[in-house]
Structure 1
Amino acid sequence: MRRYLRMYLVVGSVNCRESPLRVVEEALNGGATMIQFREKGPGALTGEAKLALALELQAACRRAGVPFIVNDDVELAARIGADGIHVGQDDESAGAVRARIGNRILGVSAHTVKEARTALLHGADYIGVGPIYPTISKEDARPVQGMRVIEEMRSQGIRLPIVGIGGITAERAGEVVRAGADGVAVISAVTQAENVRTATAELLKQVTEAAL
């Protein structure tokens, strides 16, 4: 699981400069290790249009041999046979989701040691921790956590794989990993990049070097 979290791209139609499919394909070419489909926010696709995009992105991930995760929408994940689902603290409970998805990958957002322990109890395969830095990609983002929360989780015995998220750039990726994360999850650092493949490769390089 930890290797899938190294360069984890979160993507949806509302946050891409180019078509989401092209962004995902270029990110995969740059070394993205896992893709999450997060179709939320003003102007987000719904219904059959959302399904069609999910299938396109999933097909690209399957060609690359990279896991495809759906954010929050358990019905969509089940319908397309996604590799897993990621839920936040305000979504359906992790325990209920685990019961519905069987042995597929379950990611859970956690902002405190208590939430991390609950996620572990409910069968999470990894936790997403953040926002580490200020972010413009999520309108409902929690207060900025900084590195402290990852360090605290590790010092308190949380051994679950951790991916840091929120405002992470290539310049910041290394320090997130050195704080105890296994990798970084990014949105705008890749989806808004002029060269998606290069941006992805640089993030992965920084994570890999910091993990040595």
Structure 2
Amino acid sequence: MKEFYLGGVCFITDRNLWPEVMDSVKRVLDGGIRWVQLREKSLTRREVFYLGEKLRKLTWQYNAILIINDYPDIAIATDADGVHLGQDDLPIEEARKVLGNRIIGISTHTIEEALDAQARGADYIGFGPVYGTTTKPDALTPRGLQALKTVSEAVSIPVVAIGGIKLENLKEVLDAGASAVAVASGILSSEDPKRQAEEFVKIIKEAQR
């Protein structure tokens, strides 16, 4: 894998919360976030590609990581830094053949899935939902902090906590062992995403001291 810092905050785009994706990403980048995941399930693959191209140019200006959700081929075509897979997407081994040393992350919901992802060569895992979330209507039952702690202790790759993470619970998520947090509504539900991003970054930097 390329040398990337897979910590801090991963901002997940969501047109349902903030319709102008480029605007929301620029705001959070201005707020100090340096990891963006393009996740827009309602767009066609072609639309994801064109949006990914624009985001790649923008994230380069900030030296930020860009991850494409679901599509290894679009990650390559846009020169993104990697891909984030779901449990029903292309197997990690096959994605690796396409992506080479680019970043591969995968969503996990149990310790078994987390260990399997590590064994198959994932660079990081997403784990959750830690709390209830409104971003994904079909989200699973919240896993809670103890499950996050168990997974974080069981694997050696970065664990990105996701699901219902807000400023108010960020510290306890980090204390449970998360290397990073993935956030959509926790930032976009604010009237000022830039300021909200700054607060997330501030708390994480303080926790890392």
* TM-score bucket of the superposed structures, by smaller chain: over 0.9
Aligned residues: 207
| Pair 1:89 & 2:91 matched | no
- 1:51-200 correspondence to structure 2 within 5 Å: 51-155=49-153, 157-200=154-197
Please give the TM-score of this superposition, normalised by the length of structure 1: 0.91
Q: Percent identity?
A: 34
Give the residue type in structure 2 aligned to 1:38. R
Aligned alpha-carbon RMSD (Å):
1.6
Q: How far has the Cα of 1:33 moved from its partner?
A: 2.1
Q: Secondary structure in 1 aligned to 2:95?
A: helix
Q: Is the 8 A contact 2:56 2:79 kept in 1?
A: no
Q: How far has the Cα of 1:2 moved from its partner?
A: 7.6
Q: Secondary structure in 2 aligned to 1:85?
A: strand
Q: In structure 2, how many angstroms separate the alpha carbons of the residues matched to 1:93 and 1:48?
A: 22
Which structure is richer in relative contact order (CA contacts within 8 A, separation 6 or more)? 1
Change (3 A) 1:154 1:139: same
Q: Secondary structure in 2 aligned to 1:15?
A: coil
Q: Secondary structure in 1 aligned to 2:101?
A: coil
Q: Is the 8 A contact 1:178 1:211 kept in 2?
A: no
Q: Is the 8 A contact 1:3 1:33 kept in 2?
A: no
Q: How far has the Cα of 1:131 moved from its partner?
A: 0.5
Q: In structure 1, how many angstroms separate the alpha carbons of the residues matched to 2:73 and 2:4?
A: 26
Q: How far has the Cα of 1:30 moved from its partner?
A: 0.5
Q: In structure 2, how many angstroms separate the alpha carbons of the residues matched to 1:98 and 1:200?
A: 31
Q: In structure 1, how many angstroms separate the alpha carbons of the residues matched to 2:90 and 2:79?
A: 19
Give the residue type in structure 1 aligned to 2:94. A
Q: 2:207 aligns with which of 202, 206, 210?
A: 210
Q: Is the 8 A contact 1:166 1:186 kept in 2?
A: yes
Q: Secondary structure in 1 aligned to 2:144?
A: coil
Q: Secondary structure in 1 aligned to 2:156?
A: coil
Could you tell me which runs of 5 or more consecutive residues in structure 1 were left unpaired when the two chains were aligned: none
Could you tell me which runs of 5 or more consecutive residues in structure 2 were left unpaired when the two chains were aligned: none
Give the residue type in structure 2 aligned to 1:202. E
Q: In structure 2, how many angstroms separate the alpha carbons of the residues matched to 1:78 and 1:168?
A: 30
Q: Is the 8 A contact 1:5 1:33 kept in 2?
A: no
